[in-house]
Amino acid sequence: MNPQTLLSPSQFIQMSGLSRKALRIYEENGLLLPLHIDPQSRYRWYGRDQLHTARVIQVMRAIDLPISAIQGLLNSPDPLLELQNLWRGVQQQHQQAHLLVDHLTDLLSGKGANMSFQVQERAFPAAFVATITGKVAQHEGPSFIGGSIQKIRAHLEKVGAEALEIDWTICHEGPTRDAPGIMEVCVPYTGQAVPTTEISLKHEPAHRAAFIRLRKEQARPSDLMQAHHAAQQWLQEHGHTLVMGSREVYFADWANTQDHEDAFDLAFPFEVLPEHP
């Protein structure tokens, strides 16, 4: 390989507009690897064609796309389609941010939570429950919940127990953008079941709970946060405190439910009910 046809790091930095630190970060993350590394001196050389890749990375970072998204686009067989999908996600995030700013404005102005969410009460029967608990980052929540439900239901079927039609997820510690949370995915069942190293069994007592019914399209951070705040305010106004973890209760066939259809409840247990013989 002829070094005269390549660019040194200093030349590449000057022509691309990247900083030396950025070039190192992009190499460490596999975005922009040197075209050639001298086996003896370990000196790096870059190709002129890589200037195009550097420009693509610069633009994507300028619109705050994460490095993982850039990797996906650079490795995609159809980068234009990948870009359209990425930008659709960015627009959805902007829409969510706008809604959260409106909610924050209400909180700071003293209006309190958005009480357009209808808070209702109901009794939940006692149940034997098979569960999977894990420490989950915010973006991992949907896949953790869906995967855990499938594992639990498959296990219950294997041991001859009958899973009931609903499932729920208890947020013992809610995940945020800054820290993971602890989630417990629950599937109630009848019959005899046995635990595994991953799946635990427990008995949940009958209880009374406040709940808010939500559509499938409302399973997004802005709606969930506002609904939580509305329920918390309702509990406070009625003198109730939580006696068990708040939960999302899934009563619909998620895959076949339309976005505008009711799909799940946010429930907040505030009273344990006596067991009936």
Higher pLDDT, 187 or 31: 187
Start-end ranges of CATH 1.10.1660.10 in the chain? 3-75
Q: How confident is the model at residue 140 (pLDDT cuts 50, 70, 90)?
A: confident
CA distance 114 to 99: 11
DSSP string, 233-247: HHHHHTT---SS--E
- pLDDT of 79 > 90? The answer is no
Measured at the CA of 32, the angle between CA 31 and CA 35, to 5 degrees, comes to: 140
Helix, strand, or coil here: 171?
strand
Q: Regarding predicted confidence, which is higher, 131 or 62?
A: 131
d(C-alpha 144, C-alpha 175), whole Å: 12
The domain made up of 120-272 is a member of CATH 3.40.20.10: no
Kindly report, residue by residue over 119-137, the tens digit of the pLDDT. Answer: 999 999 999 999 999 999 8
Is CATH 3.40.50.720 the right assignment for the domain spanning 3-75?
A: no
Torsion of CA 84, 87, 93, 94, to 10 degrees: -130
Q: What is the pLDDT of residues 83-113, one digit of tens each?
A: 898 888 888 777 777 777 776 777 677 766 5
What is the average per-residue pLDDT within 216-238? 87
Over residues 258-272, the mean pLDDT reads 94
Average pLDDT score over residue span 234-249: 92
Give CATH 3.20.80.10 domain extents, the chain: 120-272
